[in-house]
Amino acid sequence: MKEKSSILIIDDEESIRDSCTQVLEKDGHKVTSVSSGPEGIKIFKNNSFQVVLLDLKLPGLDGMEVLSRIKKENPETYVIIITGFASIESAVDAIKRGAFDYLAKPFSPEELRVIVHKALESRKIYFQNLSLSEDLEETQGFDMVIGKSRPMQRVLDVVKRVSASLSTVLITGESGTGKELLAREIHKHSPRRKAPFVVVDCGALVETLFESELFGHVKGSFTGAHVTKHGRFEVANGGTIFLDEISNISLNIQANLLRVIQEREVTRIGSTTPIKVDVRILAATNQDLAEKVRMGEFREDLFYRLSVVPIDLPSLRERKKDIPLLANHFLQKYSKRSKKNIKRISPEVIKALKEYDWPGNIRELENTLERAVVLSQGEEIQLQDLLYHGIGSRLSFLHSSEGKYKTLEEVEKEYIERALKDHHGNRSQTAKILGIDRKTLISKIKKYHIQ
């Protein structure tokens, strides 16, 4: 299926303009044609074109100058030079200055179709590379979806069914639960998987530039707009756009976003020409959007547009059955990255990980395992590798390395040693923290031979 796009023809020969227009419109493209360089530049500035067919030999302003101005106005427009056989050398020079290719007169309708299709395909690849997504390893995405717990099985069941559709999805869940990874999984298993996956962090963008980032702007539309800019929706055309932390956008941007969802078109700042976009929208938030609607901080109509298919990601403390699987996955990942031969995680560590509440969810677990890999000096992750984070502290006081319970004297001795260490050996402060007088503390230090 051929790419349908807007094409501008700049040629002083009426027969060329008419024949090219007929061929390209028959293929479903929207075609605009003009007879002079100044007229072409004027219409180019006020409209959006993917491809320009430009004659090098134009009266008045020549084609080379027109090419220069077009590329300066919008470097991402693909320009195909039309030239006679006698001017092939000039056409090659034009390519060196930024033209995509040239078409020598006389040319057949099929030659025209082929070169325009080639330009559109190259442009499509360019935008895929321009998108914010990075190539994912085959195993990536497993960081979040791995797991056999009932809450995650319910989520994965919905993900499998929704991935093949084009429906808008709203992903909710606490920070660190893997909302972006889930969005990537949905895109990766969708019919759009070969098209761009573009991430927009709504919490990180400056409010004054948010509209420009999403919808783009034309050159000179505001101070600092030195070139025409494609918005994220244009970059994601044909693919998926992921709006992370959607609750952070203002009511004004919400209204514009609602219009994009309804009309499937964007208008750059400073332009009046709408640009059609074919984009699947995935959104995520760690806040209660329904509550924000009740408080008047989020548009109700936008909320319903976004939450066609809602998916709520469970926190890690709700899926503790998955912790051993996740922990071992991260162990392999960071052992390989650190070039260490760490083969396993001790049972005591697994127990400590499962007893911790993980306020930072999967992100915190991953950071913890990465740090443990760095600190580990053997082939097994031990409790002392977690003490820096504090996760294994409570468990290590209660159990010996063999997993048996310690005596009260062993626990008391370790507790006093830790308190002294934390207070740099200051006995008065340590006694106060332990709730005993200084004399009793000194007595216990002697009893346990604490240095």
**Whether pLDDT at 4 is above 60:** yes
Please report where in the chains the tokens 């004297």 appear, as a residue.
Answer: 409
What's the pLDDT score for residue 286? 92
**With contact defined as beta carbons under 8 Å apart, do 400 and 411 qualify?**
no
At residue 133 the predicted structure's pLDDT band, cuts being 50, 70 and 90, is: very low
Q: Please tell me the predicted confidence (pLDDT) of residue 140.
A: 44
- Whether the CB-CB separation of 33 and 21 falls below 8 Å is answered with yes
Percent of the chain with pLDDT over 90: 32
Q: Which CATH number fits domain 6-130: 3.40.190.10, 3.30.460.10, 3.20.20.70, 3.40.50.2300?
A: 3.40.50.2300
Mean of pLDDT values over 398-419? 68
Name the average pLDDT for the chain.
84
Question: Is a pLDDT exceeding 50 seen at residue 264?
Answer: yes
Q: What is the mean predicted confidence (pLDDT) over 105-129?
A: 83
Lowest-pLDDT range of 150-164, 179-193, 394-408, 418-432: 394-408
pLDDT value of position 87? 65
In the prediction, which pLDDT does 65 show?
92
In 3D, which of 229, 209, 205 has the Cα closest to residue 217? 229
Distance CA 417, CA 150 (A): 42
Could you please state the CATH topology (level 3) that the domain comprising 408-447 is classified under.
Arc Repressor Mutant, subunit A (1.10.10)
* Fold agreement between 6-130 and 142-314: yes
Q: What is the mean pLDDT of residues 144-156?
A: 79
The per-residue pLDDT for 279 is 93
**Greater confidence, 3 or 369?**
369
pLDDT at 135 exceeding the cut of 70: no
Looking at the whole model, is its pTM more than 0.85?
A: no
Q: Is the pLDDT of residue 24 over 50?
A: yes
- The predicted model gives 326-334 an average pLDDT of 90
Q: Is pLDDT at 137 greater than 60 in this prediction? A: no
Q: What is the pLDDT of residue 284?
A: 96
Does residue 389 have a pLDDT over 60? no
Contacts 24+ apart (CB under 8 A), 136-141: 136/184, 136/188, 140/181, 140/184, 141/181, 141/184, 141/185, 141/188
Residue-level pLDDT at 404: 57
pLDDT at 395: 47
Q: What is the pLDDT of residue 367?
A: 85
* Each residue's pLDDT tens digit, 283-295: 999 999 999 999 9
> Tokens 């995509």 map to which residue?
100
**Tell me: the pLDDT tens digits for 335-365?**
988 888 898 998 888 888 888 888 888 888 8
CATH architecture, domain defined by 317-398:
Orthogonal Bundle (1.10)
Higher pLDDT, 336 or 132: 336
**What is the per-residue pLDDT across 165-189, written as a single tens digit (0 to 9) for each?**
889 999 999 988 889 989 998 998 8
Sole residue written with tokens 């717990």: 149
Query: How high is the pLDDT of residue 86?
Result: 55
Quick one: average pLDDT of 33-51?
A: 91
Are 310 and 162 a contacting pair, CB within 8 Å? Answer: no
pLDDT at 401 over 90: no
Question: Which two structure tokens, joined as six digits, stand for 411?
Answer: 């626990």
| Domain 142-314: homologous superfamily in CATH | P-loop containing nucleotide triphosphate hydrolases (3.40.50.300)
Examine the pLDDT at 393 and tell me if it is beyond 60: no
Q: Which of 228-237, 296-305, 364-373 has the highest mean pLDDT?
A: 296-305
Q: Where are the domains of the chain?
A: 6-130, 142-314, 317-398, 408-447
Model pLDDT for residues 79-116, shown as the tens digit of each residue:
999 987 656 678 778 888 888 888 888 899 999 999 99
